[in-house]
Structure 1
Amino acid sequence: MQKTPMTGKGLLQLEDELRKLRSEERPAVIRAIAEARSHGDLSENAEYHAARERQSFIEGRIQELEELISTAEVIEPSSLSGSHIKFGATVCLVDEDTDKEITYQIVGLHEADIKQSKISISSPLAKSLIGKQEGDTVSVPAPGGDRTYEILSVKFI
């Protein structure tokens, strides 16, 4: 069984989503199906078909979350150290074309969120950064052409 690396916060988010699906979403969709059934003919009942489709999505997501949680390998960034970039590192970069500074944390695939400056370990940028250290320059393939970044700092927080 292959382990899925993630942070403790990422695991908590998945567990919260699973708990909500089991305790709120699943019972709500069961009630919606029962309500739609009471309306009679199921062959032309759009409410019934929509509720069944929603139920299918919820059950699939529950199975996916259960598998992710069971294979999770929690890695706490604050317990890591060193000068080389690895999973959990918070990296400050400067784009050499625009001189714009950006900071990202490298996290697991299922907790990546660019709005929170969290990038997946499997993203092209993270793959380029792994193993590098402060002061190094990396080139990252992008749709508009390669982007070049200088690594300003590496922290494990």
Structure 2
Amino acid sequence: MNMLKLTQEGTRKLENELKELSKRKREFRHSPDKDFIINRMNEIESLLSRSLTWPVVKESGYFVQAGSTVTIEETVFHERYTYMIVHPFEADPRENKISVHSPIAKAALGKTINTTISIQAPNGSELIYTIIDIQNC
């Protein structure tokens, strides 16, 4: 069984959701949503039992991995973007948290600083970035 890596925020959200569902389980015992709630509780318990929580402190990393905060620079316009690579459950582009399954994460995983990565855009063009910083747990 593979261990999942979750941020402290992600672990806390799952634990809070589980507590809330547990409190409300009685309310739903005669509801058509009962099965959904029980299944969701089982899913959360399974996720938590197979997960590790990343520490808050980050330090310079040698290569990109799940849990890394990576800064990339677009090679033409020199715009910089910083993303945290997280489990798909926690992905939230508005908070710059991208899934390990996203194109950027897939291209960056295992790479080091000053490595150039390319991503195929949906329109067929190629986006090229350079990894300029890596922070790992």
Partner of 2:13: 13
Per-residue deviation at 1:130? 1.3
1:155 aligned partner, one-letter code: Q
CA distance in 1, matches of 2:72, 2:56: 18
Question: Contact 2:59 / 2:135 at 8 angstroms: preserved in 1?
Answer: no
CA distance in 1, matches of 2:58, 2:94: 25
CA distance in 1, matches of 2:48, 2:88: 13
Superposed, 1:2-151 pairs within 5 Å as: 2-24=2-24, 26-30=25-29, 33=30, 51-52=31-32, 54-76=33-55, 78=57, 81-145=60-124, 146-151=126-131
Runs of 4+ in 1 over 6 A off after TM superposition: none
CA distance in 2, matches of 1:4, 1:71: 6
**Larger helix fraction of residues:** 1
CA distance in 1, matches of 2:55, 2:87: 12
Per-residue deviation at 1:151? 1.5
CA distance in 2, matches of 1:96, 1:79: 26
CA distance in 2, matches of 1:29, 1:83: 49
Deviation string 1:88-137 (CA, Å, 9 cap, x unpaired) is 21111122355432110011222111111111122221121112222221
2:15 aligned partner, one-letter code: E
Identity, in percent, stands at 32
Q: Structure 2 unaligned runs (5+)?
A: none
- Aligned CA RMSD, in angstroms, stands at 2.2
Q: Would the alpha carbon gap of residues 79 and 155 (structure 1) be closer, same or farther in structure 2, given more than 3 Å must change?
A: closer
* Aligned length in residues: 136
CA distance in 1, matches of 2:19, 2:91: 20
CA distance in 1, matches of 2:109, 2:21: 35
CA distance in 2, matches of 1:79, 1:121: 18
* Larger-gyration structure (1/2): 1
Q: What TM-score comes out, normalization by structure 1 length?
A: 0.74
Q: Secondary structure at the match of 1:78?
A: coil
1:122 aligned partner, one-letter code: H
Per-residue deviation at 1:79? 5.7
CA distance in 1, matches of 2:119, 2:56: 24
Q: Structure 1 unaligned runs (5+)?
A: 34-50
